[in-house]
Amino acid sequence: MNERVRRALPAVVLFVAALGVWEGFVRVTGIQGFILPAPSGIASAFVREWPVLRSAAIGTFGSALAGLAVGILLAVIVGLAAARWKAVREGVMPLAVAANSTPIVVLAPIAIAWFGLLSPWGTISVVAVLVFFPIMINLVRGLRSAPASHHELMQSYAAPRRQVLLKLQLPTALPYLFSAFKVAAALSLIGAIVKEYFGGSQDRLGQYITRKAGLFQFEQAWSAIVLASAFGVVLFVVIGLVERRVMSWHVSVRLRQ
Amino acid sequence: MSALELRGVGMVFNPGATNEVTAIESIDLEVSAGEFVSLIGPSGCGKSTLLRLVGDLLAPTSGEVRVNAKSPREARVDRDYGMVFQSATLLDWRTVLDNVALPLEIMDIPHSERESTAREMLELVQLGPFADHHPYELSGGMQQRVSIARALSFKPSLLLMDEPFGALDEMTRERMQMELLRIWQETETTVIFVTHSIPEAVFLSTRVVVMSPRPGRVSELIEVDLAQPREFETREDPRFYGLLTELREALRKVDL
């Protein structure tokens, strides 16, 4: 426990110091609230707005998580097929790259047109498209990264393909997958909020931020941003904890001890 | 019955292309069950290629390989081969015990039998106390012993070893050689052993195949008539020195 506290200390100190500098800067310069609100102002807006924020956040985070789940599911299915068959790989990759290069700004109105303004599937589909690519790419790369000698070993046992996948390729792909999950977790929040920014239920963080910014209530807008970031950090930490449990054997985990 | 029979075996990589390479050419060799045969020769003589042809990791472009009177492919499907590579090729995410049990898992052996066999094999290589460790906690020599235990776990009739002790220091290497001979005698497996080391080939083998490079051919067969079982003192036997000299001469001839 002591060790944990010691490791978390630099981050905590830096965070508190940054808040202090920020607060001091705003007070000394008397900079206007709509340009940069003070942390204390954001905190009090957060407390005041909590009931509204809470309800909006549940909707937004729910869509982000659902989109993440759908995206992961699709990416795993396509990734497995692409790692297995060269034709799939060659067929899917250009499409995946094209989909990945499409800005979400464009996806949002399309999703709204397809699923309707208030359907949660609009947000879910945008998030799913966004997280699909990094997960699929990393999974394919991970599945194909087992050394040739390990494949020869499996071959010498006349191991069926399913066994090679389960006992060699998937464990090899785990570090790649977890890296992708961390990237995808952040993307899922960005995707959900940007999509909501363009349209959707009022009871969502994206809409809340648009509304408050439009009213020049920047402290409230910032409090929603802080909430979204905090959730991003929580997701990242949870994925990291699962990673450490699942991959205790891996260098990246061992050397962190 | 011969455990291994090679008739006019040749291997050409990239046939017809500009980078065509004849790795080995018209090799004939017969190995009886229970023999310990080493393949030795300068780099590029095709000894590893030959081992891979036997193990059905490559298919010859000419000639025929028979293993226990079967094709290499049939032999592989029948799980006749235990392979040991120069690196231990252990799976990092599995414990030592689970690494040894890997082939048994793939062969659908029931769990309880798997575990008892794997433990028995670990005892054989004297790593019983390390069953629950992970490979990264073991030294190179210990990892290689795990990989030998794994290769033996399903009692293959043929052990194919590709410079298994190449990365080990001299002392560990000599200890491992003793251990391998003890295991060979206990299990009565046939061993095909690729090596770069003259003393290793003489100390371990019943027969040494000397190969010449470009293209790889068998240039000489040397019977090693040292008494069995080989012991620490075997290396001090005048006959051992005699054989070292004989093998060294044979290798000098192919390298000219």
The 10 Å Cβ neighbour count of residue A123 is 31
The 10 Å Cβ neighbour count of residue A229 is 12
Residues of A within 8 A of B55 (CB-CB) are: 156
SS3 category, B21: strand
- Nearest-CA distance A256 → chain B (Å): 15
Residues of A within 8 A of B76 (CB-CB) are: 155-156, 158
pLDDT of residue B186: 87
pLDDT of residue A100: 81
Give the pairing of strands B62-67 and B207-212: unpaired
Residues of B within 8 A of A171 (CB-CB) are: 91, 93
pLDDT of residue A66: 97
pLDDT of residue A256: 59
| Residue A154 contacts B where some CB pair is shorter than 8 Å | yes
Rounded to an integer, the average pLDDT of A110-123 is 89
Compute the mean pLDDT over every residue in chain B, rounded to the nearest whole number. Answer: 92
pLDDT tens for B47-104 read: 999 999 999 999 999 999 999 999 999 999 999 999 999 899 999 999 999 999 999 9
| Widest pairwise Cα distance in chain B | 56
The answer to whether residue A216 scores a pLDDT higher than 60 is: yes
Q: What percent of chain A has pLDDT over 90?
A: 68
* Nearest C-alpha in B relative to A255: B136
| Residue A151 contacts B where some CB pair is shorter than 8 Å | no
The ipTM, to two decimals, is 0.89
Residues of B within 8 A of A250 (CB-CB) are: 92-93
Residue in B103, B105, B189 with CA at minimum distance from that of residue B153: B103
- Nearest-CA distance B240 → chain A (Å): 35
- Determine if the peptide bond prior to B215 is cis (ω within 30°): yes
* Nearest C-alpha in B relative to A249: B93
pLDDT tens for B179-237 read: 899 889 988 899 999 999 999 999 999 999 999 988 889 999 999 999 888 988 898 99
| Residue A153 contacts B where some CB pair is shorter than 8 Å | yes
Whether A171 and B106 lie within 8 Å, measured CB to CB: no
pLDDT of residue B256: 66
pLDDT of residue A35: 83
Residues of B within 8 A of A156 (CB-CB) are: 55, 57, 76, 81-83
State the pTM of this model: 0.84
pLDDT tens for B115-166 read: 999 999 998 888 999 999 999 999 988 999 999 999 989 989 999 999 999 8
Instruction: Please spell the DSSP secondary structure of A206-257, one letter per residue.
Output: HHHHHHHHHTT-HHHHHHHHHHHHHHHHHHHHHHHHHHHHHTTTSHHHHTT-
Rounded to an integer, the average pLDDT of A155-160 is 93
pLDDT of residue B170: 87
Higher pLDDT, A7 or A54: A54
Distances (CA, A) of A20 to A15, A28, A216: 9, 12, 24
Whether A152 and B57 lie within 8 Å, measured CB to CB: yes
| Residue A253 contacts B where some CB pair is shorter than 8 Å | no
Whether A157 and B79 lie within 8 Å, measured CB to CB: yes
Q: Sorting pLDDT into bands at 50, 70 and 90, what band is A252?
A: confident
The 10 Å Cβ neighbour count of residue B237 is 14
The answer to whether residue A104 scores a pLDDT higher than 80 is: no
- Determine if the peptide bond prior to B229 is cis (ω within 30°): yes
Interface of A with B in 108-147 (CB under 8 A): 147
Whether B106 and A156 lie within 8 Å, measured CB to CB: no
